[in-house]
């Protein structure tokens, strides 16, 4: 199936839903060779992924995943990566603020593939044990409104694709699929994408996959986050209804910054940045971009009626120490032995 799919994609033709799902199944079962996977991923990247290709592939991943089963609304905050800017871990830092605001956050992530520091890398440097069972993560989520689901644990079938992804070193459909394959079935989501042309299509995919309230965002500076250097393109999801607009940070009372002010480093450096934001020692642009993204999440979760009114709430969650406390609780609980 994958060979036929490669030939079709090279001719510029889209795959249908069923074919896309079947090909992803071959890749995750290990029946496709590394060369075939590399050719498929490169050709698909060059053609551009269709909604059916993304949806079929995402469902193939979901079917093979280990799952959490929360009985309440859960949010995921995630970027596709691949923006090639090298910012610190914005969505990971945001997760602590949002969870402190009473919103259950089941963050799904992995180690770095095409950047210096993935979510898993920085969380480890913060002292969090990422190699825990689904049962342990469910317990933590129930207790403190926060957990991290390490993609390698929940999507073990991805091991067949990992080597070729690592060797390619560029963004592929997997950058898109990770945020669509949340093992807790998140029905609230803030998803950042590296390409403006993906904003509306991926909002449609998220809605089709069961997200009730969400946003797909792309900074007009290229960031896969809501940005502070310029406007952000947004497609908001509300119970199946999509609405697109541009978000201007100045209209929310925030100050523009430069991309250079948001650049991080390796996992150790980014962990220090996260901690400095949460403990209040960082008061500049890095803090403000976390405030912005946290406000979007708090708004989506119904904690504020407007994005603008969520800004002071996000600031207070940091200023009060509540977000830092959430980090400390997560470190402690993730390292406890469950009997």
Structure tokens at 193: 């994408």
What is the predicted pLDDT for the residue at 134? 96
339 has a pLDDT exceeding 60? no
Two structure tokens written together for 150: 């390490």
| pLDDT value, residue 114 | 54
**pTM of the predicted structure, to 2 decimals:** 0.91
Sorting pLDDT into bands at 50, 70 and 90, what band is 165?
confident
CATH of 2-63, one of 3.30.2320.50, 3.20.20.80, 2.60.40.10, 1.20.970.10: 1.20.970.10
* Mean pLDDT of the chain, nearest integer: 94
pLDDT tens across 98-114, in order?
999 999 999 998 887 55
Q: What are phi and psi of 190, to 5 degrees?
A: -110, 115
List pLDDT tens digits, range 227-244: 999 999 999 999 999 999
In the prediction, which pLDDT does 81 show?
76
Closest CA to 229 of 121, 87, 326: 87
User: Is residue 267 pLDDT above 70, yes or no?
Assistant: yes
pLDDT above 80: residue 311: yes
Print the SS3 string covering 165-213: HHHHCCCCHHHHHHHHCCCCCCCEEEEECCCHHHHHHHHHHHHHCCCCE
Taking residues 57-80, report their average pLDDT: 93
For residues 116-134, give the mean pLDDT.
93
Distance CA 243, CA 147 (A): 30
Domain with CATH 3.40.1030.10 in the chain: 75-333
Q: Which two tokens stand for residue 7?
A: 């030939």
Residue 180 vs residues 65, 93, 133, 175, 275: alpha-carbon distances, Å: 12, 20, 21, 10, 28
**Architecture of domain 75-333 in CATH?**
3-Layer(aba) Sandwich (3.40)
Spatial contact of 43 and 131, defined as CB atoms under 8 Å apart: no
Confidence of residue 175 (pLDDT cuts 50, 70, 90): confident
Write the pLDDT tens digit of every residue in 46-62.
999 999 999 999 999 98
Q: In a 3-state reduction of DSSP, which class is residue 26? A: helix
Confidence of residue 162 (pLDDT cuts 50, 70, 90): confident
- The yes-or-no verdict on residue 25 having pLDDT over 60 is yes
Provide CATH 1.20.970.10 ranges for the chain. Answer: 2-63
| Cross-strand bridge partners of residue 148 | 107
Tell me which H or E stretch contains 159. Answer: none
């Amino acid at each position: 199936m994958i060979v036929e799919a490669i030939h079709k994609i090279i001719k510029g033709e889209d795959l249908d839903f069923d074919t896309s799902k079947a090909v992803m199944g071959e890749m995750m079962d290990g029946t496709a060779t590394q060369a075939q996977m590399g050719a498929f991923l490169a050709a698909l990247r060059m053609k551009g992924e269709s909604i059916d290709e993304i949806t079929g592939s995402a469902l193939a991943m979901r079917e093979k995943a280990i799952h959490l089963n929360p009985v309440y609304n859960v949010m995921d905050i995630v970027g596709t990566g691949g923006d090639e800017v090298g910012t610190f871990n914005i969505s990971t830092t945001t997760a602590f603020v949002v969870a402190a605001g009473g919103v259950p956050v089941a963050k799904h992530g992995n180690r770095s593939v095409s950047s210096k520091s993935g979510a898993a890398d920085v969380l480890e440097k913060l002292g969090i044990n990422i190699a825990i069972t689904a049962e342990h993560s469910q317990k933590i989520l129930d207790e403190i409104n926060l957990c991290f689901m390490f993609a390698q644990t929940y999507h073990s079938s991805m091991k067949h694709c990992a080597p070729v992804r690592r060797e390619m070193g560029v963004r592929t459909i997997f950058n898109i699929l990770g945020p669509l394959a949340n093992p807790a079935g998140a029905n609230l989501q803030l998803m950042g994408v590296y390409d403006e042309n993906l904003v509306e299509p991926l909002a449609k995919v998220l809605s089709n996959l069961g997200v009730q309230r969400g946003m797909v965002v792309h900074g007009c500076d290229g960031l896969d986050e809501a940005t502070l250097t310029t406007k952000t393109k947004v497609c908001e999801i509300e119970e199946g209804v999509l609405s697109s607009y541009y978000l201007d940070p100045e209209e929310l009372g925030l100050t523009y910054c430069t991309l250079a002010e948001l650049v991080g480093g390796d996992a150790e450096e980014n962990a220090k940045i996260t901690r400095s934001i949460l403990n209040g020692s960082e008061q500049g642009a890095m803090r403000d971009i976390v405030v912005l993204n946290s406000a979007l999440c708090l708004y989506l979760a119904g904690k504020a009626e407007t994005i603008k009114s969520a800004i002071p709430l996000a600031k207070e969650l940091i200023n009060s120490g509540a977000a830092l406390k959430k980090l400390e609780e997560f470190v402690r609980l993730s390292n406890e032995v469950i009997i």
